[in-house]
Amino acid sequence: MELVRLGINAEMAASLVEGTVLNEYNLLLGAGASIGARGGDGRSLPSAHKLAIEMVKDLPLDLPDPEEPKNGIGLREAYQEAKAEKPQRLIQYFNGRFIGCQPTWQAKLFQIIWERIWTLNIDDVLDKAAQQSSREVSFFTLSDRFPPKPHELAGQQVVHLHGKMASARSGLEGIVFDTLEYAKSAATQTGWAADFWSKYAQRPFVIIGAQLKDEIDLAPALDSGNSSLQSVGRPSVAVIKNVASHDKRRLERSGLIVIDCLGEEFINALLSDAEAYRRTRPEISAQRMSISSLAKFNQQFISLTYEEKIAKKSHDFYAGDEPVWNDILRGRDAPFAVMSDLFTAAQDS
């Protein structure tokens, strides 16, 4: 498997591929997912840290050099300074940078049917990439009405959690970058925000290019961690290039498998493994049952292959918890009454 070459073990890779093919995964994108694309001004889109460096130099801002770690200047500080001192210049700068983008590999994201796509980016890379897809793609921000999910394979929903420059009605309205905007976003519990919090807690996620440490508005969900492996038997992964060792440990503690590679490299591997999986499952290739219907059916079950690994650490049969399959396998006093009756009947016959 191509995913194994990226550092994920074969068992988890197999579960990830199967869950992706069966439309069980959510996709969460950060700045790293726009790497390779160009902004409306023709320049490569930067990471969050590089954007802060560019803003200080391009606007310019009277701030210490963000390239010096000791100065503690990050994107939030650069944005707050620009918004306070040069608001119109900032709007023009962001419009030029983040509207009219030119995607590269990002169109491949729409070759996978995601339960939903969530993005922390304010650019229109996904809008442009979606134009290369044959599927109907709908875009939303947190202020938009929360509609039902498209039926079957009809469409893909993309939610901009921090707003989008192309949709900002008056300059920077709806854009979430500074502390006050994060606080307002956190206090406004829209249907989209509530749905993200609910899904992130227990549904499987693929996260690309987001380190999940500066999203103050989403902190209650992100800091609580992801338990998809325990809840549905599917691993959640974070794909981050050159991830620092302390960030990797933090993400792993929150329930994520961390893969150190570029988003494009990961998506290429996932698409390759997914195609190989489909060749072994002709019923999927023939679409006798739609992928989303298969997903809904499979979500009713937990694969016993993973039962030992995903058993909750807090589970204690002898303390009164309801029995699970592992209790039976371990010979604990947890027989089901109907099985005892059948065993007795078989002996009598």
> Can you give the pLDDT at residue 171?
82
Structural domain contains residue 303: no
Report the alpha-carbon distance of residue 288 to residue 152 in Å, rounded. Answer: 13
Q: Is the domain of 335 the same as that of 204?
A: no
Residue 60 domain flag: yes
329 in the same domain as 267:
no
Prior bond of 147 cis (ω within 30°)? no
Phi, psi of 47 (to 5 degrees): -75, 170
Amino acid at 174: G
Cα–Cα distance list, 298 to 23, 125, 200, 237, 302 (Å)? 10, 33, 19, 20, 8
Residue 306 domain-assigned (yes or no): no
In-domain check, residue 265: yes
Whether residue 128 contacts residue 103, with contact meaning beta carbons closer than 8 Å, is answered with yes
Q: Copy the structure tokens of residue 10.
A: 């074969």
90 and 225 fall within a common domain: no
CB atoms within 10 A of CB 160: 29
Strand ranges in the chain using DSSP code E only, listed in sequence order: 26-29, 117-119, 136-141, 155-160, 205-208, 236-239, 256-259
Domain contains 299: no
Q: Is residue 201 part of a domain?
A: yes
Q: What is the residue-level pLDDT of the chain in tens, covering all 349 positions?
A: 999 999 999 999 999 999 999 999 999 999 999 999 999 999 999 988 899 999 999 999 999 988 887 777 888 899 999 999 999 999 999 999 999 999 999 999 999 999 999 999 999 999 999 999 888 899 999 888 887 665 555 579 999 999 999 988 678 888 888 767 766 766 666 678 888 988 999 999 999 999 988 787 777 778 889 999 998 899 999 999 999 999 999 999 999 999 999 999 999 999 999 999 999 887 665 554 554 555 556 556 555 554 455 455 556 666 677 777 666 666 666 555 666 676 677 777 6
- Provide the residue range defining the domain that includes 341: 311-348
CATH number at residue 22: 3.40.50.1220
Rounded to 10 deg, the angle between the 48-58 and 75-85 helix axes is 30
Do 201 and 169 share a structural domain?
yes
Instruction: Using alpha carbons, select from 226, 247, 256, 270 the residue that is nearest to residue 6.
Output: 270
Q: Residue 167: what pLDDT?
A: 86
Note whether 120 and 137 are same-domain residues. Answer: yes
CA 138 to chain centre: 17
Identify whether residues 248 and 317 lie together within a single domain.
no
pTM of the model: 0.81
Task: Name the burial class of residue 250, with classes exposed (0-12), middle (13-18) and buried (19+) by CB atoms within 10 angstroms of its CB.
Answer: middle
Q: Give yes or no: residues 117 and 82 share one domain.
A: no
Identify which of 101, 88, 155, 154 has the alpha carbon closest to the alpha carbon of residue 129.
101
Residues 77 and 116 both lie in one domain: no
* Domains held by the chain: number: 3
Q: Quick check: helix, strand or coil at residue 150?
A: coil
> Is the same domain home to 159 and 263?
yes
- 27 in the same domain as 73: no
Please indicate, yes or no, if residue 289 is contained in any of the structural domains.
Answer: no
Residue 290 falls inside a structural domain? no
Question: How many other CB atoms are there within 10 angstroms of residue 224's CB atom?
Answer: 13
Strands 205-208 and 236-239: parallel
Q: What is the pLDDT of residue 191?
A: 78
